[in-house]
């Protein structure tokens, strides 16, 4: 097995996930596809879980993982496995950054799903009408949200996608943390067997 090649697949997967998470977070600023004033946008959207946690912060581990394959056998001090070991070791640190970023996004999404969106009730007051995720299992409750139209399915869909995608990001970064640990310990796995 070549650890660098594996890291490259992880990096290639993390980039589109980061882009999609950023997009999902941006769409959440337009509840139900409408332009609303900032106090009519659910507070969890302002945590920037998808943009910062799953987006910007994920770019660093993704790029490092992508570069690992090239760094693999360049070596340092004329010692191939030494250079590879150092690259794999530093990837553990970036994997940890990725886990923290994706974890933040995951927690924000879970809280947002539980709280439900802010919306205007039929008498025109803006509030969070749901509690403890009760609306998830009861469609009738969705009628408490009069405006913006479709704000409940909008938030539900986007935060669910964010939850799933940040969960996948966490798993991928955890895999690279283990991969990097193995690569640090057995620094020569890219050489000998020819599996480059
Ligand atoms: C859903 O919520 C409505 C309104 O509170 C309530 O009347 C109804 O019994 C609930 N349905 C279920 C299945 O819990």
pLDDT tens digit string along 34-55? Answer: 999 999 999 999 999 999 999 9
Q: What is the pLDDT of residues 110-152, one digit of tens each?
A: 999 999 999 999 899 999 999 899 999 999 999 999 999 999 9
pLDDT for res 5? 66
Name beta bridge partners: 127. Answer: 119
pLDDT for res 4? 61
Nearest CA to ligand 1 atom 11: 138
DSSP string, the chain: --HHHHHHHHHHHHHHHHHHHHHHHHHHTSGGG----GGGS-GGGGGTIIIIIIIIHHHHHHHHHHHHHHHTTT-BTTBHHHHHHHHHHHHHHHHHHHHHHHHHHHHHHHHHHHH---EE-TTS-EE----TTGGGG-GGGGGG--BSTTHHHHHHHHHHHHHHHHHHHHHHHHHHHHHHHHHHHTTTTTSTT---
Q: How far is the CA of 119 from the centre of ligand 1 (A)?
A: 19
The model's pTM is 0.86
Ligand 1 neighbour 70 (Cβ under 6 A):
no
Give me the sign of the Cα torsion angle 45, 49, 52, 58.
negative
pLDDT for res 119? 96
Contacts of 142 (CB under 8 A, 6+ apart): 135, 152, 153
Kindly give the interhelix angle for 80-115 and 57-71, rounded to the nearest 10 degrees: 160
pLDDT for res 196? 39
Q: How far is the CA of 113 from the centre of ligand 1 (A)?
A: 19
Q: How far is the CA of 176 from the centre of ligand 1 (A)?
A: 45
Q: How far is the CA of 90 from the centre of ligand 1 (A)?
A: 53
Ligand 1 neighbour 140 (Cβ under 6 A):
yes
pLDDT for res 183? 80
Ligand 1 neighbour 139 (Cβ under 6 A):
no
Looking up tokens 């990096």 gives 11
Looking up tokens 């964010």 gives 162
Number of Cβ atoms within 10 Å of the Cβ of 91:
30
pLDDT for res 179? 86
């Amino acid at each position: 097995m070549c650890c660098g090649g594996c890291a490259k697949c992880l990096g290639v997967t993390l980039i589109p996930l980061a882009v999609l998470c950023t997009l999902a977070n941006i769409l959440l600023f337009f509840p139900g596809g409408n332009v609303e004033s900032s106090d009519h946008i659910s507070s969890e959207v302002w945590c920037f879980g998808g943009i910062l946690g799953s987006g910007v912060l994920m770019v660093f581990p993704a790029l490092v993982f992508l570069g690992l394959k090239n760094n693999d056998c360049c070596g340092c001090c004329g010692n191939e496995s030494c250079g590879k070991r150092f690259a794999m070791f530093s990837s553990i640190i970036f994997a940890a950054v990725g886990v923290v970023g994706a974890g933040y996004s995951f927690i924000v999404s879970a809280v947002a799903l539980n709280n439900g969106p802010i919306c205007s009730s039929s008498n025109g007051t803006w509030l969070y009408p749901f509690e403890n995720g009760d609306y998830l299992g009861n469609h009738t409750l969705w009628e408490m949200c009069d405006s913006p139209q479709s704000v409940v399915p909008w938030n539900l869909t986007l935060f669910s996608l964010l939850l799933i995608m940040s969960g996948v990001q966490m798993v991928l970064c955890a895999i690279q943390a283990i991969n990097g640990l193995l690569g640090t310990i057995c620094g020569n796995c890219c050489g000998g067997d020819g599996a480059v």
